[in-house]
Amino acid sequence: MTRADRADLHTLTGAYAVYALSGRELLAFERHLADCEACAQEVRELRATAAKLGMATSLTPSPVLKDDVMRRIATVRQDPPRVARSEPEFSGGGAPPRRASRGRWQNFALAACLAGAVALGGVAVWQNQQASDARDTARRSEQQVARVEAVTEVLAAPDAHSRNAKLTNGATGTVVVSHALDKAAFLASGLPKPPDGRVYQLWFSDGGTMRSAGLMDTADTGTGRGTAALLSGAVGKASGVGVTVEPAGGSKAPTTDPIGLMSLPAG
């Protein structure tokens, strides 16, 4: 590319805004865009303008289309938020985002699974709402969504680290911690339902002193599905996370031996 070409790049904002660039030119312009705030601003404005051109052609879709779309989204997993910023929009798909470590991708995979669980739960929600008598399910599902969202945030954190442990009841537990967010999440698979009148309680271990990190929602236990919980409270200087079985309502301090104890990676 000659210097004149490069100087010319910024006049491509119009073509870019209406997706009229392709191949090498598209790549070159996107690279230029990353360093040219004035160009980015112009692209935003011209895209908003183009959107109006599109809106001026508005038609009324048939109701069938909506039913089809609603049915489809109920089975589609949602992507986690973009982490690497200012990645190209149109020409992307080549190189993986910089600084993506293997651990990060595993966390993303986990996050995607969780999002999937919610999306699948969503099928039932949508149908039930149409059937009218499933307010509870909807409310429960909202809580579930909020919980999964909180957990996903930890899993997707750039500094997220995890530790696995086999629990004494045969389940597998994973604790994921982000010191940047000062939050930790606990994930378990194969966790059986707790005995009647009992709950699972989570703890932060501050050098051996157990600090309650809340109770787990046991709705998903014993189903073979995964269970996830955000530990309440800040991670602080905690050196580990524990799980115990406690009487309903939880305890101030553990009253039983932990079924699992996982050390936390240092911050």
Q: Tell me how far, at minimum, the Cβ of 148 lies from other proteins, in Å.
A: 8
SS3 category, 169: coil
Cα–Cα distance measured from residue 231 to residue 229, given in angstroms and rounded to the nearest whole number: 6
What DSSP line would sit under 155-210, residue for residue?
Answer: HT-TT-EEEEEE-TTS-EEEEEEETTTTEEEEEEESPPPPPTTEEEEEEEEETTEE
* Closest-CA residue to 260 (of 222, 209, 205, 197): 205
When asked if residue 82 is in the footprint of other proteins (CB under 8 A), the reply is yes
Binding mask 121-160 for other proteins (x = CB under 8 A): -x--xx--x------------x--xx-xx-----------
What whole-number distance in Å separates Cα of residue 139 and Cα of residue 128? 12
Using the structure block, give the residue that is written with the tokens 């031996």: 257
Q: Does 78 bind other proteins (CB under 8 A)?
A: yes
Residue (126 or 251) nearer to other proteins, CB: 126
The size of the interface with other proteins (CB under 8 A), counted in residues, is 60
d(CA 27, CA 15): 13
User: Tokens at residue 153, please?
Assistant: 């945030």
CA distances from 65 to 49, 127, 173, 210, 247 (A): 27, 17, 43, 55, 51
Stretch that binds other proteins, among 48-56, 97-105, 174-182, 253-261 (CB under 8 A): 48-56
Residue 105: count other Cβ atoms within 10 Å of its Cβ.
12
- Confirm or reject binding of residue 80 to other proteins (CB under 8 A): yes
Closer Cβ to other proteins, 70 or 109, answer by number: 70
Task: Give 133 or 196: the residue with its C-beta nearer to other proteins.
Answer: 133
| Of the residues 29, 104, 110, 115, which one makes contact with other proteins according to CB under 8 A | 115
Which among 4-12, 205-213, 218-226, 256-264 is the span making contact with other proteins, rule CB under 8 A?
Answer: 4-12
**Distance separating alpha carbons of residues 245 and 197, to the nearest angstrom:** 10
Stretch that binds other proteins, among 46-54, 167-175, 206-214, 257-265 (CB under 8 A): 46-54
Question: Which CB sits closer to other proteins, 135 or 237?
Answer: 135
Q: Which two structure tokens, joined as six digits, stand for 127?
A: 């149908």
Nearest to 211 by CA among 177, 173, 237, 188: 237
Binding mask 5-24 for other proteins (x = CB under 8 A): ---x--xxxxx-xxxxxx--
Stretch that binds other proteins, among 74-82, 91-99, 180-188, 217-225 (CB under 8 A): 74-82
State the residues that interact with other proteins by CB under 8 A. 8, 11-15, 17-22, 41, 44-62, 65-66, 68-70, 72-74, 76-82, 90, 115, 118-119, 122, 125-126, 129, 142, 145-146, 148-149
